[in-house]
């Protein structure tokens, strides 16, 4: 099997850019990744592209070819839709394609345009990731679904809103050093606890913002990198995906995310590592409680132990296991269909040393990314390792 | 829009004759289904939904989607009824009296925003 290397990464600044087209956002990220990689245009063999709500935001289906054009490429292009895990699954297919030997150079990425819709329309659009018949018609919003999980978690394992507030505070602090993050504003636990309720027990600062943005990653075979003398120190050594029932009501436990456990177990086995080998993690904190569920599914914490990790200082910048040094979805922003590859971009930069927070993890060798769709009915985990 | 299988299920709940689907191994699921989502068994039978359910988790939604604009704030809950769980809006019970373990009955109500029918939970009459 061919090893996969990350030759280049690119991002747009995340934020509110309601006037920018999706194709312009993706072009910026893709061209940045291509420049970072320094690979000849003619060598790109395929584009794997993630997007969730393009039909609703831009009335645009069939985005693959449009985004290949935007990236300046002439190659087959396919769009992947898997809610908030859209770019994660696109990246996973890109990895599989190189591993199989079917291609030596591919581009993976994602884009979401959201702020051209109002908050109400975005709320409605995000809800389509839930089960329409059994959840949306019963008033389940995206924050509401995670609120259902948060209350179930508190009941099963303990923890409270103050524990969750520490996660928001941590991720806002981390984003201060990330030029691409949506927020550059430190917050306090009191700020978080006093923010307006969205769906109790979750309030505004438990939730990620509405974000426009794009991300892109150039993947190459180990052999191609060697032949062309590319500087590509980060490898993708593990890839895993897991699934679960779409609706919370059809799951035995409302405070666990077994799809992510399956994805993590598969990715660890693929990489030949275990959770103890992980030095740094970027996880899908669309809501603060989601970071907790992610840490526990990744095997980094036992069930019930993850909720206090930020408050105890273990997952902060100076902790033993820094989590979401990018600022996470919470403060970096969450352009839904771009998030999976944005996590890979951030992790690549953290490991190779050119991230604003790389100095927090100077000796890190192994990083994991965890990207989730819906209430984690879909989960994708990747293991990235850097040559040291 | 007609959703065959789902619409009949909702109508049965409205008539007090709610049901769930059971497979030979006793797993429960809700229609429309052609196989058990838990074990894949194709033999599904309709079984009566228990009269009372228990709230397993809930949230009071303050920021609604447009399809619930005229309902907010409202309480959505997941309640277990024997081998299945249902998701519905809690009615006839103040939000601060909803709790984990609260016993509810299931019925069908109307969404004040869209006029669509929806699953509602009400305090179970003992």
SS3 of B45-67: EEEECCCCEEEEEEEEECCCCHH
Quote the CA–CA distance of A286 and A166 in Å, as a whole number. 15
Tens-place pLDDT, residues A3-27 = 999 999 999 999 999 999 999 999 9
Asked if the Cβ–Cβ distance from B59 to A144 is below 8 Å, we say yes
- In chain B, which ranges are continuous DSSP H helix? 6-14
Mean pLDDT of chain B: 96
* Residue A388 pLDDT grade (very low, low, confident, very high; cuts 50, 70, 90): confident
pLDDT at B2 over 90: yes
Is residue A211 a contact partner of residue A333, using CB atoms and an 8 Å limit?
yes
pLDDT of the residue at A251: 97
CA closest to A202 among chain B residues: B59
CB neighbour class for A320 (10 Å; exposed up to 12, middle 13-18, buried from 19) = exposed
CB neighbour class for A101 (10 Å; exposed up to 12, middle 13-18, buried from 19) = exposed
pLDDT of the residue at A54: 97
State mean pLDDT over A183-207: 98
Tens-place pLDDT, residues A272-301 = 999 999 999 999 999 999 999 999 999 999
CA closest to A131 among chain B residues: B87
Asked if the Cβ–Cβ distance from B57 to A152 is below 8 Å, we say yes
CB neighbour class for B39 (10 Å; exposed up to 12, middle 13-18, buried from 19) = exposed
Q: For chain B, how many residues are written?
A: 126
Asked if the Cβ–Cβ distance from B60 to A199 is below 8 Å, we say yes
pLDDT of the residue at A2: 80
Please name the helix (run of DSSP H) or strand (run of DSSP E) that holds residue A199, with its range, or none: strand A197-199
State mean pLDDT over A218-227: 98
Is residue A138 a contact partner of residue B76, using CB atoms and an 8 Å limit?
yes
pLDDT above 70 as % of chain A: 100
pLDDT of the residue at B125: 72
| CA Rg value for chain B | 15
CA closest to B7 among chain A residues: A133
**Count of CB atoms situated within 10 Å of the CB of A276:** 8
Asked if the Cβ–Cβ distance from A151 to B59 is below 8 Å, we say yes
* Residue A266 pLDDT grade (very low, low, confident, very high; cuts 50, 70, 90): very high
| Residue positions of A annotated with a catalytic role | 84, 334
Asked if the Cβ–Cβ distance from B60 to A134 is below 8 Å, we say no
State mean pLDDT over B100-105: 98
Q: What does pTM read for this prediction?
A: 0.98
pLDDT of the residue at A357: 98
* Residue A179 pLDDT grade (very low, low, confident, very high; cuts 50, 70, 90): very high
pLDDT at B126 over 70: no
Please name the helix (run of DSSP H) or strand (run of DSSP E) that holds residue A9, with its range, or none: strand A4-11
Per DSSP, chain A holds a count of helices (H) and strands (E) of 13, 11
Quote the CA–CA distance of B19 and A361 in Å, as a whole number. 55
Mean pLDDT of chain A: 97
pLDDT at B99 over 70: yes
State mean pLDDT over B56-62: 98
Q: Of A63-67, B54-58, B121-125, give the lowest mean pLDDT range.
A: B121-125
**Count of CB atoms situated within 10 Å of the CB of B43:** 10
Is residue A30 a contact partner of residue A70, using CB atoms and an 8 Å limit?
yes
Residue A197 has phi, psi (to 5 degrees) of -70, 135
Q: Which residues of A touch B (CB under 8 A)?
A: 119-121, 123-124, 127, 133-141, 143-144, 147-149, 151-152, 155, 196-202, 245, 247-250, 254
The DSSP string of A17-49 is -TTS-HHHHHHHHHHHHHHHHT--GGG---EEE
pLDDT at B1 over 90: no
For residue B112, the chain A residues in CB contact (below 8 A) are none
pLDDT at A255 over 60: yes
């Amino acid at each position: 099997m061919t090893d996969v290397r990350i030759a280049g990464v690119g991002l747009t600044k995340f934020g509110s850019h309601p006037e920018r087209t999706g194709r312009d956002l993706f072009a910026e990220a893709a061209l940045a990744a291509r420049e970072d990689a320094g690979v000849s245009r003619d060598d790109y063999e395929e584009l794997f592209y993630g997007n969730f709500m393009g039909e609703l935001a831009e009335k645009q289906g069939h985005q693959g070819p449009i985004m290949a054009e935007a990236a300046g490429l002439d190659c087959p292009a396919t769009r992947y839709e898997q809610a908030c895990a859209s770019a994660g699954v696109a990246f996973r297919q890109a990895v599989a394609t190189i591993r199989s030997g079917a291609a030596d150079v591919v581009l993976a990425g994602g884009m979401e345009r959201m702020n051209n819709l109002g908050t109400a329309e975005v709320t409605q659009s995000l809800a389509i990731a839930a089960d329409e018949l059994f959840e949306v018609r019963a008033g389940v919003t995206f924050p509401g679904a995670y609120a259902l999980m948060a209350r179930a978690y508190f009941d099963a394992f303990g923890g409270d809103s103050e524990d969750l507030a520490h996660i928001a505070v941590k991720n806002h602090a981390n984003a201060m050093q990330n030029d691409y993050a949506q927020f550059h504003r430190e917050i306090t636990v009191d700020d978080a606890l006093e923010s307006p309720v969205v769906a109790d027990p979750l309030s505004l600062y438990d939730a990620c913002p509405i974000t426009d943005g794009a991300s892109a990653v150039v993947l190459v075979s180990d052999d191609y990198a060697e032949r062309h003398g590319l500087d590509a120190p980060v490898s993708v050594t593990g890839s895993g995906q897991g699934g679960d029932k779409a609706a919370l009501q059809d799951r035995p436990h409302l405070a666990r995310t077994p799809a992510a456990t399956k994805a993590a177990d598969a990715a660890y086995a693929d990489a030949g590592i275990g959770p103890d080998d992980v030095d740094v993690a970027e996880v899908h904190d669309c809501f603060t409680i989601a970071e907790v569920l992610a840490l526990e599914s990744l095997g980094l914490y036992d069930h019930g132990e993850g909720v206090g990790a930020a408050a105890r200082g273990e997952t902060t910048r100076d902790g033993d296991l820094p989590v979401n040094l990018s600022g996470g979805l919470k403060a970096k922003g969450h352009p839904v269909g771009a998030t999976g590859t944005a996590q890979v971009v951030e992790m690549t930069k953290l490991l190779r040393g050119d991230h604003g927070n790389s100095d927090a993890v100077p000796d890190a060798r192994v990083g994991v990314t965890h990207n989730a769709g819906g209430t984690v009915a879909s989960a994708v985990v990747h293991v990235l390792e850097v040559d040291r | 829009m007609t959703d065959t299988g789902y619409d009949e299920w909702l109508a049965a709940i409205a008539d007090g004759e709610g049901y769930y689907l059971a497979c030979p191994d006793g797993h429960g699921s809700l229609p429309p289904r052609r196989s058990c989502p838990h074990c894949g068994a194709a033999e599904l039978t309709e079984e009566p939904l228990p009269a009372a359910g228990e709230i397993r988790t809930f949230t009071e939604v303050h920021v609604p989607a447009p399809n619930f604009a005229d309902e907010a704030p409202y309480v959505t809950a997941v309640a277990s009824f024997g081998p299945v769980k249902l998701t519905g809006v809690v009615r006839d019970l103040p939000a601060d009296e909803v709790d984990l373990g609260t016993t509810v009955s299931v019925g069908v109500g109307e969404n004040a925003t869209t006029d669509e029918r929806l699953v509602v939970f009400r305090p179970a009459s003992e």
